[in-house]
Chains A and B, each alone.
Chain A
């Protein structure tokens, strides 16, 4: 059902679905609770009606939440699959974390530090590893996060759909410089990317921060 949407849109729709239902449930519980406390205050209702349970009601509020929970699980899983299904034509970039910097390696032998530069209109596959302790590669704008584990390569991907600059954070606590382990993703035009690979610096034109 999600086919026409990008992975980011799918994740966001799952957020809306779960949070939307949650807010409705929360409001329902809270209103019922406050209403009962006022309506059945002992001054208004001096004698309680002793009700020990109701099998039908209890089955109902076991089955319905179970179905809702399963639907949430399902949407969460379906949208997760697209986060994990890396397109074959994706541009591969090596990501290496080391206290407290991000290093990026490109196919042409180019390397960069704390600045991930990619061309617009391409799927980007990240091969992530770490040189020391655990780190976490987090790109909020594209809803992806993957731990960087020493001696192991993990993957994540995103589709660079729009030129701009985005934050990359480290999410697995890694020591004194953890919160400063901050990099930028720069999505640039194909031409700028080619020129940058050859060693030219990027023009300072586009900086529509997300």
Chain B
């Protein structure tokens, strides 16, 4: 440990704000993303919480219907474009992926920093939309013709999403090139750790799918500004065309969001169990399978849109096909625990919560994939619950797990474990209380994006509100605890969890250049044979 301390860590290598804003170190860029994305997450969480409070009782509580509509739009836009899509790839993909493959940096370090500036510019545009003509009230889906007719500021927000898409494409491109070209010499494709594999699969989706949303949002802007009649039926346009274009990106985007989360879980579980991951190749294959098949199911958001029954048949079928690789991953994770030697830790506890919540998200997705049941629950609270189980219970829980897992590596400090358990468990319990009632509300017929509701939906909404409050306490405790750890935490050892991938062979925090000499690569990336002693 002392011996490795000789190398100056990336945190201490330079100081001053300019050394951060002009950095080309992938680890520093990752931290720039971490702080920006965490801030957006907290803002969007507060917006979501205010929606929950508004809905606790029938009638108007906190805000007008117009404000409510703007708040759920901003909640969605910020969460999806500014937090969920960049969070795990841009933060942990940036920090950990090059370390896992024994690289000194990403292939295009300057492009990496530029992508962060684009990300900040996108965020700035999203903020600006608040101050001109009122915030947008279209929902994050920007469905036409409403988004063309509304008086609020749709153009600024779509521009924000357009710029953010740019950032996402460049990051994906950078990561693909890095994984192809900068792997340490001895590392073949089947020695690549699973988190890096998930980043690789995700990056392809980012590069291939994101241009479609770019074009689509530009078309919306053209339609709004010049009224050329692409989507507006009163001018001969077709609103269903818009929905196809929108979901052609936005469904793959869901996989951009969940795949890296699965990668995080695939790292944490074998480390906690001190045991090889069960079915390495199956997990790699399912990541690639999800990335591929996930690009072909977009119109399952559109069974009631007025498209043909033949299209419903095809997209329902493909949706069930893409369900299988996700199921395989869950089985592999659980099987990894079998005959392990399990050490509990905050990242592992969150991974267990993840498996439970993500399974519910996936299984309720089957209800939405089947044609007839979809008709009943489409556009209801059921969809909102399903989506949050996958996005929050899935990706956001995996995000927190990733923070807990790699925090010691990134900052060289530990946080308090007891508070980490408490915060995560409060968040988990609150989550269940919040979102379970929404499945019931959806089955009972309460539509989504509702500011107010008929009296028979009151109980479910009230209970959900209690869950929301519990979640907020949990989030507050988690953030406070991490902040304390950052400032006053104990010094972290090089390998606090007993991991075997390459990032754990470096000091915590790592030096700027990462590896002084080419690291040794294991023939099998999850070989815990040597770690037997404990």
Contacts and interface: CB of A to CB of B under 8 A. Distances in A.
Quick one: which of A42, A49, A66, A79 has the most chain B CB within 10 A?
A: A42
Interface stretch (B361-369, B397-405, B477-485): B361-369
Contact of B372 (A11, A176, A182): A11
B473 interface: no
Interface residues of B, number: 93
Interface string B436-454: 0000000111111111111
A19 B367 contact: yes
A21 B505 CA distance: 44
A178 B68 CA distance: 11
Contact of A171 (B277, B373, B379): B379
Contact of A154 (B65, B274, B306, B355): B306
A193 interface: no
Given A37-B342, A145-B378, A171-B380, A50 B453 contact: no
Contacts of B444: 140
Interface in A42-100: 42, 45-54, 57-58, 61-62, 65-66, 69-70, 72-73, 75-80, 83-84
Contacts of B132: none
B369 A76 contact: yes
B383 to A, nearest CB: 10
A22 B369 CA distance: 13
Quick one: which of B65, B137, B146, B524 has the most chain A CB within 10 A?
A: B146
Contacts of A179: 65, 447, 449-453
Contacts of B443: 15
A154 B306 CA distance: 6
A40 B370 contact: no
A73 B338 contact: no
A186 to B, nearest CB: 16
B233 A149 contact: yes
A119 interface: no
Nearest to A67: B324
B124 interface: no
Given A45-B339, A140-B445, A171-B380, A70 B320 contact: yes
B145 A134 contact: yes
Contact of A133 (B145, B369, B446): B145
Contacts of B447: 136, 138, 169-171, 179
A14 interface: yes
B372 A83 contact: yes
Contacts of A143: 372, 375-376
Contact of A173 (B146, B352, B445, B532): B146
A177 B66 CA distance: 9
Contacts of B21: none
B137 A175 contact: yes
B340 to A, nearest CB: 5
A185 interface: no
B355 A33 contact: yes
A49 B145 contact: no
A200 B304 CA distance: 35
Nearest to B302: A147
A26 interface: yes
A10 B372 contact: yes
A150 interface: yes
B337 interface: yes
Contact of A146 (B279, B306, B529): B306
B495 interface: no
Given A29-B355, A40-B337, A132-B149, A48 B273 contact: yes
B281 interface: yes
B375 A11 contact: yes
B15 interface: no
B228 interface: no
17 contacts: A14-B373, A18-B366, A22-B364, A36-B334, A48-B275, A48-B528, A48-B532, A54-B278, A58-B282, A69-B320, A73-B369, A133-B146, A145-B304, A149-B306, A151-B233, A173-B146, A175-B137
Interface of A: 10-11, 14-15, 18-19, 22, 25-26, 29-30, 32-33, 36-37, 40-42, 45-54, 57-58, 61-62, 65-66, 69-70, 72-73, 75-80, 83-84, 132-134, 136, 138, 140-141, 143-147, 149-152, 154, 167, 169-180, 182
Given A30-B359, A48-B528, A169-B445, 15 more contacts: A15-B373, A33-B337, A37-B337, A40-B338, A45-B339, A48-B274, A50-B275, A73-B316, A73-B320, A77-B313, A80-B375, A83-B372, A150-B234, A171-B447, A179-B449
